Amino acid sequence: MEITLYQFPAACSRVTMNALEEVGCDYSDVLVNMKAMGQTKPDYLAINPKGKVPTLVIDGTILTENAAILWTLHCLRPEGGLFPPTQGPLEDHQYRADLAWCSGTMHPTVRQIRMPMKWTTGETDGVRAHGIETFLGDCERISQRLAGGWWYGTSWSIIDTYVYWGYSTAEKGGFPLDRFPALADHAARVRARPSFRRVIAREQASLDMARIEGMVL
């Protein structure tokens, strides 16, 4: 398969890249300069008219929406370990439900905290405060689930990386992550995985190359 990932370092495309590393796919990546609104430029909109990152192109087929991309990678490489094995569709449903929650509930709340200006044409303090209040409740539940283990107990899954991306990004927006020691432990274990370390190195390489080429980041 010929695979290209359109990504921006530290954006949610990091989760997709981690999935590609976990399942062992060979792929190339293209940096979309979101700081310069590169996702809104005509050349990128020709690939993904939604103007969102990530986009994954597999043998010419364009895949969008992170949750759907992750599930497709799981279906293409079920042996890749993105989710623990199940006995059938009813158990599979929980994986899809968790992906939907990450992308449809957690992700918007995190964006509300990290980028409140995207939610309003007026003041942002109230938007961020509401997001933090909401996410505090979410992180209470997440902490209980992750205490001493992974999202699905003893087995890592791509949900662990997605949740990590959520709470670590929220922290950059002022979220008090230090209230949740179980998440600090979980974060250390996510960052220690070889696949995640490869992602960080690859993101840094793409930033270095962009700067060499004169891209303002």
**Of 9, 29, 11, which Cα lies nearest the Cα of 20?**
29
Burial of 133 (0-12, 13-18, 19+ CB in 10 A): exposed
Q: What is the pLDDT of residue 155?
A: 93
pTM reported for the whole predicted model = 0.95
CA distance 217 to 214: 9
Show the domains of the chain with their CATH numbers: 3-81+195-212 (3.40.30.10), 89-193 (1.20.1050.10)
Mean pLDDT of 179-207: 97
Q: Both ends of the chain: CA-CA distance in Å?
A: 31
Read off the pLDDT of residues 44-103 as tens digits, 9 standing for 90 and up: 999 999 999 999 999 999 999 999 999 999 999 999 999 999 888 888 999 999 999 999
Q: What is the pLDDT of residue 45?
A: 97
Q: What is the pLDDT of residue 146?
A: 95
Q: How confident is the model at residue 212 (pLDDT cuts 50, 70, 90)?
A: confident
Integer-rounded Cα Rg, in Å, for the chain is: 17
